[in-house]
Structure 1
Amino acid sequence: MRVAEISLPAIRHNVARIRELTGGAVIVVVKADGYGHGARAAAAAALEAGATMVATADLEEALALREAGIGAPILCWLHGVRVDFSEAVAAGIEIGISHAQQLEHLAAAATRLGRTAVVQLKVDTGLSRNGAAPEEWAPLFARAAELEAAGAIRVRGVFSHLANAGDAHDRAQAARFDEAIAALRAVGIEPELIHLAASAATLTLPHLHYNAVRVGVAAYGLSPFADKTSAQLGLVPAMTLRSEIVALRAVPAGTGVSYGYNHVCETATTLALVPMGYADGMPRALNGAGAWVTIAGEHRPIVGRIGMDQFIVDVGPIAGRIDLGEPVVLFGDPERGHPPVEIWAGLMRTINYEIIVGIGPRVRRIPVDAEPSVAAVDAPATAVGAPAAAGDAA
């Protein structure tokens, strides 16, 4: 009843588009279960399109990708204070290091295993989150050089993250990043991968590309900008959120709809019940906000309060053309006539990122390895290979 159809061709197209724009290495971020798209399927599609490596926030996410058969380089950079890096070193995970304590823990794990840990040093250039602060660079880099000479680690890269606070701040962060690169080279370390740009800078600021970029939302075909659409950036949204009609009810004028009767039908109409709700990541605050879905190629409004498991659509004008089981698209690619996820984000006063990662676990992620035809826009999804068991997420 609840499906997030994930277009693998769309992910491949987006990664190829990013490679075309940058000409350098592309690191695709698949944290938070591939931004809600399914980490394994997203990682595989990105690598097939030429991504240099994939990245997660947490070590657990990185190890899950290894267990799922992703053998390419994987970077992760957000670690708890009690983390044991042994499993990561054994699995060949590249570790983002933000401070000296992490570096020592990683080196100790590598020494115990008789392995060389691969490191990317993360520096804070102005976002004020994780990453080594400028006053930490000299001792951290010097220690990294010592450990590299001893064979405990290999420093493969250096990276930072922009605050996206405007051109002047971006350039100031880039200048600090250049200082970090110079300081690293001064101790004898020449990083193979140098990356500062995430999706926004990758798409619009070529002077910040260095020799690698690190993209998240753009790989899934969504715009990181409020004033630019996916299509304008040459991207294709990969997720189509679908459900179906499970009940139809003809009602007279004056009928109240759902809890609290915050919607009352002005005329006789037909109401369609769709089995998706706020437990599935459909924000309850969309109630009465003007959100709509696509049914039989038509835009129809969501009416009444959204429940935990279901919502209601007024389908009066098309009632004669639909029946039980009719597909319902909650959001997808607007170039195919579907509501863009940005409608929900705008009504919620949030960003598209939050909506897609909030799609709940009851929604089955089904990777689709074929481009939809115009005639099949509202047809049920066809999964890659055998269908997953109920509740499985790709």
Structure 2
Amino acid sequence: MTAPYTGPTLTTITPGIEANIARVRSLCHAEIMAVVKADGYGLGAEHVARAALNAGCTWLGTTDVAEASQLRRAGFSVPILAWLHPAGLDVETAEASDVDIAIGSLEHLIQALRRGRGKLRIHLHLDTGMTRGGLPAYDWHDAMHWAAASEKEKIFRVVGLMGHLPNADAAEPSANDAGLRSFDVAHKMARKAGLTFEVRHLASTSATLTDPRTHFELVRIGAGLVGIDPSGSTELNPAARLTCPVVHTRAVSEGSPVGYGGSGTTREAGFVSVLGLGYADGIPQLLDPEAYVMIDGRACRILGRVNMDQIVVETGEWAAAPGTEAIIIGPDPGEPTVQHWAQWGNTSAHRIITGLGQRLHRVASTKQEETI
């Protein structure tokens, strides 16, 4: 019989994801795409997708066709859109797996019209201010007319028009004005070329939460699924719990140096404990001196630099027994959040959650206290 796993464990809290989608649904009447790229923002694409669909999402979004095909093989039947294509445009697999693909360049459009066999569904991806990806405005006319001609020849179907808003995180609707104007110009141009769309989508989490004008027929929720609102306007529910057992504990005197170069120093005589995870698991190596974990309801300060596989914490007069659970990231009041770690590590919440390493044991939970 296999012994239960007792190492660092990352739990996907599916009720948190469901609550976040419920919040989005209360703010808009559009359909919702759950964007589960980067393995569901680090929490498991299948876990996150299933929770999001249970909460009312009707689309899934991925980076590329390979990710989308994995979801198809896992049994997901809702529309799935792949829009970044880092390994190139895989038209054949997209058709075989019934995956929508975004077309963000004339080169990709040419590939689609040469290789499409009638089943391919495409979304025209416009650059509406990011200067990062999507069809630039000077290619819109040609792209619209080529796409319309190819649709008439039944090479593919044009089902979506999409873009991104560069300033939506400002939580100020006027910051989206230029992007909306650009999107409107493109939509009118497409209609003139003879194209109609099942869905238009421009808003990701921030715009969805702050600017109803951006909703159209579909909105894309990625970071918001896992409790991150880049706009800072809405309190969302945490969706992750990271725990690790104490490896060992030892007595120390006040002022004891800790770690390489003595980069940490104990504040008092008492005890320190070692936790068996580190920067190889996604914990920032350099942290604010006030960074802490929770052990038995106590906030225990992290001492010194985070090591590849170890963190040292100060527990004061209390000696934590080996095996005692430390909460690294938690959903409950007082527990460190993803946002805390981003602040302590001078980085973003997105980077913390997606950077949690593959060595972590991953489970899903339908209740705060129960994993499956």
TM-score (structure 2 length as normaliser): 0.93
Work out whether 1:205 is the aligned partner of 2:203. no
Mapped pair 1:137 → 2:134: no
Secondary structure (helix, strand or coil) at the match of 1:41 reads helix
Q: Which deviates more, 264-273 or 174-183?
A: 264-273
Checking the alignment, whether the CA contact within 8 Å between 1:17 and 1:234 is kept in structure 2 is no
Matched residues, percent identical?
A: 36
Deviation of the 1:292 alpha carbon: 0.7
Residue 87 of structure 1: SS of its match in structure 2? helix
Question: What is the CA distance between 1:59 and its match in structure 2?
Answer: 2.1
Matched, 1:318 2:318: yes
Aligned twin of 2:3? none
- In the alignment, structure 1 residue 279 sits paired with structure 2 residue 267: no
Aligned residue number for residue 163 of structure 2 = 160
Whether 2:343 is the aligned partner of 1:383: answer: no
Question: Aligned residue for 2:52?
Answer: 46
Q: Distance in 2 between matches of 1:124 and 1:63?
A: 26
2:306 paired with 1:306? yes
For 2:365 and 2:86, the matched residues in 1 are separated by: 35
The C-alpha deviation readout for 1:337-358, integer Å capped at 9, x for no partner, is 3112112212333210011011
Q: Name the aligned partner's letter for residue 324 of structure 2.
A: E
User: Deviation of residue 331 (structure 1)?
Assistant: 1.7
Aligned 8 A contact 2:289 2:303 in 1: no
| TM-superposed deviation, 1:53 | 0.5
SS across alignment from 1:246: strand
CA distance in structure 1 between the aligned counterparts of 2:153 and 2:111, rounded to whole angstroms: 15
User: In 2, Cα distance between the equivalents of 1:83 and 1:118?
Assistant: 13
CA distance in 2, matches of 1:330, 1:10: 17
Q: Distance in 2 between matches of 1:299 and 1:266?
A: 14
Measured against aligned partners, the alpha-carbon deviations of 1:341-378 in whole angstroms (never above 9, x if no partner) come to 112212333210011011111012211112x2xxx5xx
Q: Following superposition of structure 1 onto structure 2, how do residues 156-195 of structure 1 map, counting pairs within 5 Å?
A: 156-164=159-167, 166=170, 167=172, 168-195=174-201
User: How far apart are residue 47 of structure 1 and its match?
Assistant: 1.2
Deviation at 1:81, TM superposition (A): 7.2
Q: Which amino acid aligns with 2:184?
A: D
1:84/1:105 contact within 8 Å kept: no
TM-fit CA distance, 1:318: 3.5
Structure 1 position 80, deviation (Å): 4.3
Q: Which secondary structure does the structure 2 equivalent of 1:189 belong to?
A: coil
1:31-57: CA deviation from partner (whole Å, max 9, x where unpaired): 111111111111111111111111012
Following the alignment from structure 1 to structure 2, what is the Cα–Cα distance between the partners of residues 161 and 132? Answer: 11
- After superposition, residues 351-390 of structure 1 pair within 5 angstroms as 351-370=348-367, 372=368, 382-384=370-372
1:347 aligned onto 2:347: no
Q: Matched residues in 2 for 1:62 and 1:239: separation?
A: 23
Partner of 1:222: 228
CA separation of 1:260 and 1:234: change in aligned 2, threshold 3 A: closer
Cα distance per residue 1:65-86 (max 9 Å; x no partner): 2222222211011124743320
Q: CA RMSD in A?
A: 1.7
Structure 1 equivalent of residue 121 of structure 2: 118
Distance 1:180 1:40, change over 3 A: same
> Is residue 264–residue 304 contact of structure 2 (8 Å, CA) maintained in 1?
yes
Deviation digits for residues 207-230 of structure 1, max 9, x if unmatched? 2212211111111112213x54xx
What residue in structure 1 maps to residue 109 of structure 2? 103
Instruction: Calculate the TM-score normalised by the size of structure 1.
Output: 0.88
Matches within 5 A, 1:201-280: 201-225=207-231, 227-228=232-233, 233-280=234-281
Unpaired stretches in structure 1, ≥5 consecutive residues: 377-381, 385-394
Q: Is the 8 A contact 1:33 1:39 kept in 2?
A: yes
Deviation at 1:253, TM superposition (A): 2.6
Would the aligned equivalents of 1:6 and 1:367 in 2 still touch at CA under 8 Å? yes
Instruction: Give the deviation of 1:336 after TM superposition.
Output: 3.3
Once residues 266 and 35 of structure 1 are traced to their aligned partners in structure 2, the CA distance between those partners, rounded to angstroms, is: 37
Runs of 4+ more than 3 Å apart: 80-84, 165-169
Equivalent residue for 2:333, pick from 321, 336, 353: 336
Confirm or deny: 8 A CA contact 1:75 1:95 kept in the other structure: yes
